[in-house]
Structure 1
Amino acid sequence: MKKHIKEYIMITVGYIILALAIKFFLAPNKIAGGGVTGIAIIINHLIPSFSVGSLMLIMNIILFIVGFIAIGGKFGAKTIYASLGLSGLISLLDKYISPEVALTHDLLLATLFGTFLSGIGMGIVFNANASTGGTDILAKILNKFIHLDIGKSLLIVDFVVAVAAGLTFSPEIGMYGLLSVILNGITIDTVIEGMNTCKAIIVMSSKNDLINKYIIEELDRGCTLFEGKGAYSGSKIDVLYTILDRKEFIKLRNYIREIDKKAFITVSEAHEVLGEGFKDIVED
């Protein structure tokens, strides 16, 4: 229960960041970097009486219905919450803040900051095993009926939206939209990797029994012992392997310094760790 509450809090934080990026950077500058957001920005330009938030809400509901008919209800409560929460928040902002309000009207700054913030927001949402819906559903439909990879399907949909923006507004804005699509993907990947990065640690020490006990009892983590043999000395030694987050690794390093200054430690980055004590292998 506690885990689910934390995930919903993270999803809320994520879509709030995304909503602010859309409202104050992307939408007022007509930067349609793909997705339902980009489609809503284009339609809003053609039919100003419909706000970006309202259009996103309508399109997401339609896409959920179409997706349910075409591929079944494989969305999950978190994705529905994130999608409708984002659309609703932007609708609320549109109601009280003029659509023309922007923190900058410089297209390059708006693209960079808007995409950077939206990538952070989407990365947080994705990391909580949810998505903001929208063109993700179209990608899944393409995947089912023409067997196109979901990643490629998303890229095609976003590319089409950016080209449509170029035809609707100007080639320059269309190119900024394409730049936004590319930067958004990079930012999302970076955020997800950063949130899930742990330390993979190998320790060779004469005090591995104490280190093993410290990891299990003090850090509440597991570890594995291998029997090794020195190539030069021929002597046998236990090799300890464990995965810890950054804070836990610092504690372990300080502990090893206290009990065995001759210990040999190697540390590498583990960009994603799945299983007991970390992120679930099976998504909820």
Structure 2
Amino acid sequence: MSLKILKDYVVITIGIILVAVAVEYFFAPNNIAAGGVTGIAIVINYYISFLSTGVLVFIMNIILFIIAFIFLGSNFGGKTIYASFGLSIIMAFMEKFMHPVAITNDLIIATLFGTITSAIGMALVFNANGSTGGTDIIAKILNKFIHTDIGKSLLVVDFLVTLAAGATFGVNVGFYALLSVIINGLAIDEFIEGFRTCKAITIVSEKHDGIANFIMEELGRGCTYVKGVGVYSKRDIYIIYTVLGRTEFIKLKNYMKQLDPKAFITVSDVHEVLGEGFTQIIDM
């Protein structure tokens, strides 16, 4: 197993632990069925209390993977299987040995903090090219046979889960579950963008060779020279273009203060970078 794959599985593990914490300490004790398989499990647990939410998630994932194999083929990877069953195992472990109780009984606080915790966990899983399976599988089946967008299919499935929560636990709790679904979808995108954000940098400096060498040798990143002409000076100039992580940019900025404090630098955020040194296109 390569170091990158090992790192991905470590990240996925941290992600599903956060999702499990959100479910066991915020959602389940307050009957907030915030969509997905875990939301379905919370509703079913109300009627079949002798089966814990962790066990119910495990059972439903097995059923969904069988259905996926029949209707979709084996197009779900090892990371998705690991995340799906890992989540249910961690939840079952918490329920048996840690006996989780609600951190707060305030539904607003439970909804907000549970959703944020879950969204961070899900973003970590997605960022490692994984998925927790579950209702994603239902959405893919609807996409295949009804030709609806996967995003819309997920929204429909989650809406039905929150509808069931409202019917089971009351309208107020149902609305909190729906609010969690909406916030969760927005928050996951924001967190993923935050993980992938880099800095696109252009530099105009007479000491361009020293800067380029620092970027390549000290930071281990590539850079490109773009030939230009100064409008005022009419002189040929070299413009350096590079993309760096945030910590790498701080190192470059500190270096520039010493080498050429008069350099002209522009910086902009880029939300996804594909290619050598970053996420490979083949991995997406």
Q: TM-score range by the shorter chain?
A: over 0.9
Aligned to 1:277: 277
- The whole-number CA distance in structure 2 between the counterparts of 1:207 and 1:152 is 52
Aligned to 2:250: 250
Give TM-score, length-normalised by structure 1: 0.97
Deviations 1:104-134 (A, max 9, x none): 1111111111111011111111110001110
After superposition, where does 1:153-168 map in structure 2 within 5 Å?
153-168=153-168
Deviations 1:184-240 (A, max 9, x none): 112211211111111110001111111111111111110111111223333221111
Aligned to 1:61: 62
After superposition, where does 1:1-284 map in structure 2 within 5 Å?
1-98=2-99, 101-283=101-283
Alignment RMSD (CA, Å): 1.2
1:132 match: secondary structure: coil
**Which amino acid in structure 1 is aligned with residue 278 of structure 2?**
F
**TM-superposed deviation, 1:97:** 4.3
1:62 match: secondary structure: helix
**Which amino acid in structure 1 is aligned with residue 9 of structure 2?**
Y
What runs of 5+ residues in structure 2 fail to find an aligned partner?
none
Deviations 1:56-103 (A, max 9, x none): 00001110110111111111111100110000111122223446x211
- The whole-number CA distance in structure 1 between the counterparts of 2:267 and 2:279 is 20
Give TM-score, length-normalised by structure 2: 0.97
**TM-superposed deviation, 1:15:** 0.5
- The whole-number CA distance in structure 1 between the counterparts of 2:228 and 2:186 is 40
Q: For residues 251 and 97 of structure 1, do their structure 2 counterparts lie closer, same or farther at Cα, with a shift above 3 Å needed?
A: closer
- The whole-number CA distance in structure 2 between the counterparts of 1:119 and 1:66 is 26
- The whole-number CA distance in structure 2 between the counterparts of 1:144 and 1:227 is 50
**Which amino acid in structure 2 is aligned with residue 209 of structure 1?**
D
1:49 match: secondary structure: coil
**Which amino acid in structure 1 is aligned with residue 81 of structure 2?**
I
Q: How many residues of Structure 1 are paired with residues of Structure 2 in the alignment?
A: 283
- The whole-number CA distance in structure 1 between the counterparts of 2:152 and 2:109 is 28
- The whole-number CA distance in structure 2 between the counterparts of 1:237 and 1:159 is 58
- The whole-number CA distance in structure 2 between the counterparts of 1:74 and 1:283 is 15
Identity of aligned residues (%): 60
- The whole-number CA distance in structure 1 between the counterparts of 2:107 and 2:189 is 24
- The whole-number CA distance in structure 2 between the counterparts of 1:282 and 1:68 is 24
2:269 match: secondary structure: strand
2:29 match: secondary structure: coil
